[in-house]
């Protein structure tokens, strides 16, 4: 399957395309209580992680990471995905596909300079505003003739799929 792909063929670009197997395993090993950890809208950060402390009708008491207690509307909270979904390559696979979770995933990937992510059929790119070694000849070769699901997200995967589909349609 794709997570066991030998990333050596991507050369120096590998670390900008996919987490290592060890990093993926570490994320899956974290404890998580989905009934307590949720996203709360925040003016400065868009969304912040909070822990539910008490439910009282439509009001919920939450605790922020810095120890503040807030009383918020339950409808303002968005469910959080377990850590095993952190850095997910295709956001369509998120258990909770909501604005906060999508932004968190993109932010986490960007923080590690992994700028390409899928969202179903679409390839999402976050501009790193710096050069990354993800456009070299070895990277082009690594994507050539491969199925999109077998490689890390990249515009080359989309281009190769489009080219393959074009060749198939011309041969009909």
pLDDT at position 124 over 60: yes
Q: Cα separation of 17 and 11, whole Å?
A: 11
pLDDT tens profile 128-141: 999 999 999 999 99
The radius of gyration of the chain's CA atoms, rounded to the nearest angstrom, is 19
How far is 138 from 20, CA to CA, in rounded Å? 19
Q: How confident is the model over 13-37, as pLDDT tens digits?
A: 999 999 888 887 887 777 777 779 9
Mean pLDDT of 84-106: 94
3-state secondary structure of 99: helix
Q: Give CB contacts under 8 A, 24+ apart, made by 152-159.
A: 152/5, 152/7, 152/10, 152/17, 152/18, 152/89, 152/116, 153/17, 153/89, 153/90, 153/116, 153/117, 153/118, 153/123, 153/124, 154/17, 154/116, 154/123, 155/116, 155/123, 155/125, 157/123, 158/123
Cβ atoms of 163 and 170 within 8 Å: the answer is no
User: Would you list the domain boundaries of the chain?
Assistant: 2-28+89-95+115-171, 37-79
Spatial distance between the Cα atoms of 142 and 134, rounded to a whole number of angstroms: 11
What class, spelled out in words, does domain 37-79 have in CATH? Answer: mainly beta
Distance CA 16, CA 114 (A): 5
Largest CA distance in the chain: 64
pLDDT at position 87 over 80: yes
The 10s digit of each residue's pLDDT in 69-80 is 999 999 999 999
């Amino acid at each position: 399957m794709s997570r066991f792909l030998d990333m050596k063929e991507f050369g120096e670009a590998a670390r900008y395309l996919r987490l290592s197997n060890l990093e993926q395993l570490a994320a899956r090993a974290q404890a998580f209580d989905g009934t307590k950890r949720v996203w709360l809208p925040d003016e400065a950060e868009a969304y912040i992680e909070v822990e539910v402390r008490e439910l009282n009708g439509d009001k919920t008491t939450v605790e922020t990471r810095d120890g503040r207690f807030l009383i918020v509307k339950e409808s303002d909270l968005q469910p959080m995905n377990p850590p095993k979904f952190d850095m997910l390559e295709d956001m369509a696979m998120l258990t909770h596909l909501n604005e906060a979770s999508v932004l968190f995933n993109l932010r986490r990937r960007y923080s590690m300079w992994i700028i390409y992510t899928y969202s179903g059929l679409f390839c999402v790119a976050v501009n790193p505003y710096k050069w990354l070694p993800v456009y070299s000849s070895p990277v082009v070769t690594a994507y050539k003739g491969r199925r999109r699901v077998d490689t890390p997200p990249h515009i080359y995967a989309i281009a190769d799929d489009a080219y393959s589909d074009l060749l198939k349609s011309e041969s009909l």
